[in-house]
Structure 1
Amino acid sequence: MLAEDKIKRINELSKKSKTTGLSIEEAKEQTLLRKEYLETFRSSMRNTIEHVKVIDPEGNDVTPEKVKKARDDKYLN
């Protein structure tokens, strides 16, 4: 998860961009922070999906093969 101070800074820059506008340096900072946020989010989501096990109402494991393969690849390497 992204540090709270970085999320706060993203929100500050977003608010400023809507009101007074950003300087070139601030716009670059905003871009880098957003990129870092998205990378962190995607990594977290990928990790969550890799640990999901789907069970149908009859108790059968119906986890998609793609998810099983990704999980196996991650832990076998």
Structure 2
Amino acid sequence: MRVQLEATGLEFEEDGNTIWVHGLRGTILRIQCTGKIRMISCDAGATPHADVKVHGDIAMCVPDGPDKEFSNVH
């Protein structure tokens, strides 16, 4: 099953070590690195982006019930 969460913003500090992805009700994803976050120059028309590779599993807390904020994508 593929799950899609609606994000409203992404936050980080240059030279920091954490990226926060925010949803309507708070932080939905926090990524921490052991190094620092660097901003690099890319093509003027490019969308800001980063690739993150994780070794091992990731545990996502996804609530059940009528208030859940995600939709299944097939």
TM-score (structure 1 length as normaliser): 0.19
Higher helix share: 1
Bigger relative contact order, structure 1 or 2, given CA contacts below 8 A and separation 6+? 2
Higher strand share: 2
